[in-house]
Structure 1
């Protein structure tokens, strides 16, 4: 029997019992939809986290030192000379100062005092305006940058043009020259970036460099760099590597997040496999029923010259087509469910946008699983049909 004839007979047999066929594939639809929905949503959340938290900066390293003496930029320069694996090694100081919000109330703004190379090492991007320059930092210019989440707090409207406006901090006025893109996950309070020299001379309250930020050279082994950084910094400041130095690479965060997402996907796959197994049993049950209902048809086909393998192919193809149809519906409903769940997350967490990602590999795997279920659970009914005696089948009432 030609393959085209097999397809025609399969379609004719399944369409004759459309209601029963749709109910039979329900387990397959639910199982595949669950897998597609969760994997698509997980992929979207992962991409969102990478974009929101700047995890694409896998070469970024954060270093904190518990030293009895304050760390200054001279120390940072010495560290940079001793650790050539870093393309950039810089730092930041922290303090807070009183400011006035849009509603007239007084509040404290968190001041991050930095040099210009901090923005490159930290992966910061300007939504408006520009960063300040090295010459402006050296001259202690009264310039400031704010993040996007701070604009609404300071001026009452997140869409206001903040560049060029004056910001009152403590007893001084500063001109905003840029707005930095910020994460909706970390949008709280007011954060202002000042040139380090400006903050040191005009704001005060800082005790040296509170955090050192490094940006590794391309191709550097981040795990090895983390260990060598910890030992070198501990040796330089004469502190304990275990208690006195904390080194954390964003590459480690990415790996942890990927591991967590993979574990969650595996868990969801295990849960969905139960539904697929139940769906497979439903397929076998329907196919056995079909064999019983079509005994005379099978006998007639055999009497006209159909071989056992032709009968096996026909019923096996029917089983596979049922499962593939369930897989197609499952992929469609699963992706739609992922979009719906993404919208719910956006409503619960304002400003968070989760765009589901339907990976071609997952779709191919889902189709492959459906074909496998069709073969495994359809083989026994197909072989049972093929072994029927044509004479007894024709006499069956």
Structure 2
């Protein structure tokens, strides 16, 4: 152990004699380690953001949309095929389903007093919508089955709508106008923040789906635009998807030789696909960034070869006083590893700072964005080990060359 400490001290002294040259030598290692650490950290941040956004969509959500189907060789599309009764049947007859809600989309301006505002989303939903979306009420109540069956003109608003229309006043019981139709505010949702594309999820107005269909769309049909479904657990997602498909096949009287008139989207599968894409891109960018580590390793080897040439006489003197070839080899190998490791430490520090800075810059530039700050210490440790490996790999040849010098020839070297 004493010999190792002595070797390290001598190596540090040798590197300190040419600080500028040593610094320029490890520049490639510093850039490579910093780039790898930054790319992995930012990639993990993007992956975590994707997972957060799908969690914000709801708990184990399945989305059912009307689809087109082929009858006697003719593709038929366009007419809505889903009904509120479908949603009710799914919730009651599918054991793997926790809750289901019909969805009817609408749009328009919301007016309160002399203030008007256009929500990002104006949706007619069922009583279980908050359960599906894993959303809580901040104050007030949600509408009931009685209000849905009678198409009551009541609504629940998001946090952004609260701030824009009511500011500091109490919204409960107040009347707002949607397409010149008066609606009574009965509740306010908890804040959810922005989604993955920066859209404000709190800029939303919810109402009974019957109200949206009859009052706003002027329709007496029982059709809905979509059905949102929550499975009882992540493990039951596939089973829930199968059960929903079977119920709809039966209710819509779709024969085995016919295409279904609905489409089911599994948000977990979409999240997994996006996560795979994000991970692949991160790996690709990290691999590209790691190329600079090879460039840095070549620089380390070059400087060590120069060092061997400059210190040939020193090597000869050490051999003359009893140093063995393996001692000389160890000395130069330790110098190469130290050089690369010091570069790795600087690179990891720069990489962590860069990943935090990039995440903060994205959040400041993109309005409503909330990228999580993720620092991949695992990537930093692996990068440090890789830097040491670069020192060993590219330092071996110069160290081996130094250990094989002839002592007499080395002493004669000028």
TM band (smaller chain): 0.7 to 0.9
Give 1:310 shift: 1.8
Q: 2:41 maps to which residue?
A: 40
| TM-score (normalised: structure 1) | 0.87
Distance in 2 separating the partners of 1:92 and 1:344: 37
Change in 2 beyond 3 A, CA 1:161/1:358: farther
Q: 1:285 maps to which residue?
A: 302
Distance in 2 separating the partners of 1:56 and 1:18: 55
Query: Aligned to 1:100, what secondary structure does the other structure show?
Result: strand
Equivalences for 1:245-260 in 2 at 5 Å? 245-260=262-277
Task: Verify the 8 A CA contact 2:315 2:328 in the aligned structure 1.
Answer: yes
Query: Aligned to 1:220, what secondary structure does the other structure show?
Result: helix
Q: 1:65 maps to which residue?
A: 66
Q: 1:24 maps to which residue?
A: 25
Q: 1:192 maps to which residue?
A: 205
Task: Verify the 8 A CA contact 2:193 2:202 in the aligned structure 1.
Answer: no
Distance in 1 separating the partners of 2:201 and 2:92: 37
Change in 2 beyond 3 A, CA 1:296/1:163: farther
2:52 is the counterpart of 1:51: yes
Query: Aligned to 1:116, what secondary structure does the other structure show?
Result: coil
Query: Aligned to 1:186, what secondary structure does the other structure show?
Result: coil
Q: 1:114 maps to which residue?
A: 125
Give 1:196 shift: 3.8
Task: Verify the 8 A CA contact 1:167 1:175 in the aligned structure 2.
Answer: yes
Query: Aligned to 1:145, what secondary structure does the other structure show?
Result: strand
Range 165-174 or range 235-244, more displaced? 235-244
Distance in 1 separating the partners of 2:268 and 2:93: 22
Range 252-261 or range 283-292, more displaced? 252-261
Give 1:255 shift: 0.9
2:251 is the counterpart of 1:236: yes
Equivalences for 1:246-395 in 2 at 5 Å? 246-395=263-412
Distance in 2 separating the partners of 1:354 and 1:189: 17
Task: Verify the 8 A CA contact 2:39 2:285 in the aligned structure 1.
Answer: yes
- After superposition, the CA RMSD in angstroms is 3.1
Distance in 1 separating the partners of 2:351 and 2:157: 41
Give 1:131 shift: 4.7
Q: 2:176 maps to which residue?
A: 167
Task: Verify the 8 A CA contact 2:96 2:236 in the aligned structure 1.
Answer: no
Cα offsets for 1:135-156 (capped at 9, x unmatched): 674576654222234345545x
Change in 2 beyond 3 A, CA 1:370/1:28: same
Give 1:384 shift: 0.5
Distance in 2 separating the partners of 1:242 and 1:311: 77
| TM-score (normalised: structure 2) | 0.84
Change in 2 beyond 3 A, CA 1:221/1:280: farther
Task: Verify the 8 A CA contact 2:112 2:175 in the aligned structure 1.
Answer: no
Task: Verify the 8 A CA contact 1:146 1:179 in the aligned structure 2.
Answer: yes
Which ranges of structure 2 fall in alignment gaps of 5 or more residues? 69-78
Cα offsets for 1:228-278 (capped at 9, x unmatched): 543542343134875522111111121112111112112212221221111
Change in 2 beyond 3 A, CA 1:34/1:319: same
Task: Verify the 8 A CA contact 2:156 2:186 in the aligned structure 1.
Answer: yes
Change in 2 beyond 3 A, CA 1:84/1:301: same
2:82 is the counterpart of 1:76: no
Distance in 1 separating the partners of 2:367 and 2:302: 48
Give 1:394 shift: 1.8
Give 1:376 shift: 0.9
Distance in 1 separating the partners of 2:188 and 2:43: 34
Query: Aligned to 2:224, what secondary structure does the other structure show?
Result: coil
Task: Verify the 8 A CA contact 1:25 1:282 in the aligned structure 2.
Answer: yes
Give 1:307 shift: 2.0
